[in-house]
Amino acid sequence: MVFRVGIVGASGYTGGELLRILANHPGVEITYVTSREYVGKPVHYVHYNLRGYYRGLKFVEFDVNGVSRNSDVVFLTLPHGVSVNYVPKLLEVGLRVVDLSADFRLKKPELYEFWYGFKHPYPDLLSKAVYGLPEIHRDELRNTGLIASPGCNATAVILSLLPLAKTGVVDLSKVVADVKAGSSEGGSKPSQGSHHPEREGAIRPYEAEGHRHAAEVEQELTYLTGSEVNVTLIPHAVSSVRGVLTSTHLWFKDYIDDIDLMKLFVQTYSKEPFVRFVKTSPPGYPDPKYVVGSNYVDVSYAVERRVRRLTVFAALDNLMKGAAGQAVQAFNIMMGFEEGLGLKYPPLKP
């Protein structure tokens, strides 16, 4: 079965990454791509890496009738606060939707006012959307028409914490996540801080007094544990283009020996197709360099018994497992495909 797929906001980085992945997906034909700036231009006019692919496919202006005539499923790769106005129209005409923005990730409408500064206009849809993290919501993804694809930093932090979440061995009321992020996290339109001359060589904290992805991490860990979780998440801009590394600091509440701790990670992830537990294999700790270009997330941990501290690590490619790759993984589950279809290739080296 081949589904017709549209991408709204296809001229940006995550839209381009979806086009790159889906070019070789046997269950997908890309039929509709939108942009405001590049109407009438071919896909490779913006995405030079896709020269020779998608011949004849040109960007069009969004039109709900056009997208509904030409697609069965739509990916939205629009800024937050923009997507929210498109999703209900697409659902109304019977399309399935995968939204990569934050607009349907949070379940409590009031959180949008606090974290995103707008009153959510469609609170009823928040309960219908499934947070698109297969490692937690795989079964719900099989039965939904609306996927809210997770944030990149949130994905890394959640997946590094997941093995511990239900055990009670760490204190989840004080979680401190330190994040290093490459510049493509900021999207394709440069700002003062992300413009290359300002960004190259930088190691700079940003949004250090409340990064929005903390809300997703708190929501998902509370869902898993049933108790209050408090997270502070501080991203740092670093020089790389792609890649996220999270080091999340936790403190032990109860004793767990080394073997049982390792078993938690091994057992949680032994059957997950895109999570690699890298504690025992060199180089020892996750490094975005060795996941870039792939849908893998590498996780590990370090214990410092002297101060009862456990640090969990995760590395992923923000445009892959942090965005487009994960969205395709969730799409595969929703559409009844094998979960890894079109996504099974190793990362780059060097």
Ligand X SMILES: NC(=O)c1ccc[n+]([C@@H]2O[C@H](COP(=O)([O-])OP(=O)(O)OC[C@H]3O[C@@H](n4cnc5c(N)ncnc54)[C@H](OP(=O)(O)O)[C@@H]3O)[C@@H](O)[C@H]2O)c1
| 101 interacts with ligand X by CB under 6 A | yes
Nearer to ligand X, 36 or 305 (CB): 36
CB 106 within 8 A of CB 131: no
Active-site option among 152, 162, 238, 328 = 152
Catalytic: 196? no
**Which parts of 73-92 interact with ligand X (CB under 6 A)?**
77-80, 82
* Helix %, strand %, coil % of the chain (to 5): 35, 20, 45
Rounded CA separation 169/156 (Å): 20
Is the distance from CB of 128 to CB of 122 less than 8 angstroms? Answer: no
81: three-class secondary structure by DSSP:
coil
Nearest distance in Å: CB 197, ligand X: 19
Nearest to residue 79, comparing CAs of 129, 153, 9, 182? 9
What whole-number distance in Å separates Cα of residue 172 and Cα of residue 151?
20
Query: Which of 173/191 has CB closer to ligand X?
Result: 191
Work out whether 100 is an interface residue with ligand X (CB under 6 A).
yes
At closest approach, how far in Å is the CB of 104 from ligand X?
A: 11
**Mask of contacts with ligand X, 146-185, x by CB under 6 A?**
-----xx-------------------------------xx
Judged by beta carbon, residue 36 or residue 119, the one nearer ligand X is: 36
At closest approach, how far in Å is the CB of 156 from ligand X? 11
Among 194, 294, 318, 332, binds ligand X (CB under 6 A): 318
Burial degree of 146 (CB within 10 A; 0-12, 13-18, 19+): buried
Segment 12 to 71, residues that bind ligand X, using CB under 6 A: 12-15, 35-38
Q: How deeply is 293 buried, as exposed, middle or buried, from its count of CB atoms within 10 A (0-12, 13-18, 19+)?
A: middle
Judged by DSSP in three states, 319 sits in coil
Residues binding ligand X (CB under 6 A): 9, 11-15, 35-38, 77-80, 82, 100-101, 151-152, 184-185, 187-189, 318-319, 322-323
Please list the active-site residues: 152
